[in-house]
Amino acid sequence: MSVLEFSVPPGPLVSQPVPAPAAGADFTITTPDSLAQGMWQVVSIRARLVTSATVANRFVALAVKDEVANEVYRVGFDTAITAGLTVIVTFTPAVSTVVGGVTNVKTLTFPVPAGPYPSRTAFSSVTTNIDTGDQWSQVSVSYQRLTPNYFQE
């Protein structure tokens, strides 16, 4: 009988830039398509949101969906991000509640489960009232890979 285990401890920290979406669109990060490439233990997802001058209240969240697009987790911030702001947003298991603000520090840190996350898990920003001129950029994900070890019993 074949048995599948994952490496413990996880592999080295990987920091990977993610292409910025088009203006007015949210970003999505998806884990590799193959179990052979391992599972992700998320350290952080970080991005910058620049809001246009168009007056609107934006609200930011992160949705995590499994390989068949079922939403399994969502975390959001209920304070509006207004026009003309630049805010750094981080999602990490290092915090248990939302930290920061949009008035002075202009940074938000959200909790997200560390995982592990299997293949084809998607992490997507969800920006309520996003304007066509709003721009997510400097998107990156940092994770440790849990690699599969196969052996026969």
CA gyration radius, the chain: 17
Cα–Cα distance, 52 to 121 (Å, whole number): 30
Range of the domain at 126: 12-148
pLDDT digits 0-9 by tens, 32-85? 887 667 789 999 999 999 999 999 999 999 999 999 999 999 999 888 999 999
Residues 125-146, mean pLDDT to the nearest whole number: 96
Cα–Cα distance, 103 to 86 (Å, whole number): 11
Question: In this structure, what token pair is assigned to residue 134?
Answer: 């709003």
- Kindly give, in sequence order, each residue whose CB lies less than 8 Å from that of residue 32, ignoring residues fewer than 6 positions away: 38, 119
pLDDT band at residue 142 under the 50/70/90 scheme:
very high
pLDDT digits 0-9 by tens, 83-113? 999 999 999 999 998 888 877 778 999 999 9
Instruction: With beta carbons less than 8 A apart as the criterion, state whether 111 and 75 touch.
Output: yes
Containing 62, the helix (H) or strand (E) segment is strand 59-65
**Is 83 a member of any domain?**
yes
**Is 97 a member of any domain?**
yes
Instruction: Report whether pLDDT(7) > 70.
Output: no
CATH of residue 25: 2.60.120
**Is 47 a member of any domain?**
yes
pLDDT band at residue 8 under the 50/70/90 scheme:
low
**Is 48 a member of any domain?**
yes
